[in-house]
Amino acid sequence: MVMPRKPATTVSFIDDYCAAYQDIFPEVRSFESFKYLHVGMMSEIQRKSLPSIAKIVGLDNEQPLHHFLTESPWDIKQLENRRLSLTLSMLKGESFVLVIDETGDKKKGDSTDYVSRQYIGNLGKVDNGLVSVNAYGVLGTIVFPLIFKVFKPLSTLQENDVYKTKPQLAGEIIEELRNLGFKFDVVLADCLYGESQPFRTVLNGFKLKYVLAVRSNHQAWLNSDNVEYSDWHTFDRIFSNGKEQSYYIQEIICKNSEENSQDIRYWKITKDILKERKNRTWYVISNLPGEIKQTVGNLYGFRNWIEYGLKQAKNELGWADFRVTNYEQI
């Protein structure tokens, strides 16, 4: 009986990491391509396309890597479940902060599945591109990826597709994580999710605490006949570099007239109460209990620096550089 050859070695820490996934790949060459892609993503090459990665790992061309993504017999869901299982075991039951965010990248033409003209967060404007809804965990100073789902615009749906909004995708992600056994203390998300009642219903269904952004013209206080505004208070906003600045915070309570319904609690946070500049003032909705005016601003601030940091990391890993066009390959 001929024994299968051993896979080629790469960089030690990549070999060690990838070893946990080796049994998922029935072919040695598939496992090697899996490792080569990791080498490419971790390298310092400017564009992390398949031809560029093939070149730095010593392949004659990108065909083995392309075959790995398009033809090789391995299951992406099995790979994702393995990664999540390893993450869960390393957490050892600890809970963390869950951040929901979306990211997008510009794509030319319309040959790539689910590419459409839509808002691209990476660009800060509407353009032709692909967008995904992502979940990240934050434990201390460690940020780790969990699940992402590609958003499928209505105009791009294929046969048997069901249209789902971004908040619906985020709700599905949270359900999946909870069913897998992940524990999170609080959920952070921007106004797209904060203003989605179905999304908040999912959070409430799991009895999760949250701090979610809303817009200044949020419908709740526009429609409420009984809105209470507290006095302004100061708190020290702590940034990711450890520096502190004084900010102001005001509690806004929308009284709910319906029987057995809770009041809705909002917070307005600003750098200057005399000149509330748009980029220095934001609103959040939270169901955190007790006196939280000294903590809610910093807690939501997590989302901002994580969003910025992960944008840089995503770009560094080459998320925008792929050239495959099929959804399963993406």
Q: Which residue has the higher pLDDT, 317 or 88?
A: 88
The pLDDT-based confidence of 21 (bands split at 50, 70, 90) is very high
Q: Could you give the CA distance from residue 35 to residue 47 in angstroms, rounded to a whole number?
A: 18
Given a cut of 90, whether residue 19 has pLDDT beyond it is: yes
Of 95, 310, 314, 116, give the one whose Cα is nearest residue 206.
95
Contacts of 84 (CB under 8 A, 6+ apart): 146, 147, 180
What is the per-residue pLDDT for 330? 57
DSSP collapsed to 3 states, the chain = CCCCCCCCCCCHHHHHHHHHHHHHCCCHHHHHHHHHHHHHHHCCCCCCCHHHHHHHHCCCCCHHHHHHHHCCCCCHHHHHHHHHHHHHHHHCCCCEEEEEEEEEEECCCCCCCCCEEEEECCCCEEEEEEEEEEEEEEECCEEEEEEEEECCCHHHCCCCCCCCCHHHHHHHHHHHHHHHCCCEEEEEECHHHHCCHHHHHHHHHCCCEEEEEECCCCHHHHHCCCEEECCCEEEEEECCCCCEEEEEEEEEEECCCCCCCCCEEEEEEECCCCCCCHHHEEEEEECCCCCCCCCHHHHHHHHHHHHHHHHHHHHHHCHHHCCCCCCCCC
Share of the chain above pLDDT 70, in %: 84
What is the per-residue pLDDT for 79? 95
- Find residue 236's DSSP bridge partners: 246
Given a cut of 70, whether residue 96 has pLDDT beyond it is: yes
Q: Could you give the CA distance from residue 120 to residue 105 in angstroms, rounded to a whole number?
A: 6
Region 228-241: mean pLDDT is 84
Both structure tokens of 318: 């080459």
Both structure tokens of 72: 């090789």
Share of the chain above pLDDT 90, in %: 42
Helix or strand (DSSP H, E) at 172: helix 166-180
Given a cut of 90, whether residue 225 has pLDDT beyond it is: no
pTM here is 0.86
Digit-coded pLDDT (tens) for 44-89: 888 888 999 999 999 999 999 999 988 888 999 999 999 999 999 9
Which range among 7-21, 86-100, 172-186, 293-307 shows the weakest confidence by mean pLDDT? 293-307
Region 292-300: mean pLDDT is 80
What is the per-residue pLDDT for 77? 92
Of 161, 154, 152, give the one whose Cα is nearest residue 130.
152
Gap between the terminal Cα atoms of the chain: 37
Q: Could you give the CA distance from residue 145 to residue 142 in angstroms, rounded to a whole number?
A: 10
What is the per-residue pLDDT for 81? 95
**R_g over Cα of the chain:** 23
What is the per-residue pLDDT for 301? 73
What is the per-residue pLDDT for 308? 60
Given a cut of 80, whether residue 304 has pLDDT beyond it is: no
Contact 184, 297 (CB under 8 A): no
* All domains of the chain in start order, with CATH: 12-74 (no CATH), 79-317 (3.90.350)
Both structure tokens of 168: 């619906």
Both structure tokens of 48: 């992390």
Q: Could you give the CA distance from residue 78 to residue 95 in angstroms, rounded to a whole number?
A: 24
Both structure tokens of 13: 């820490």
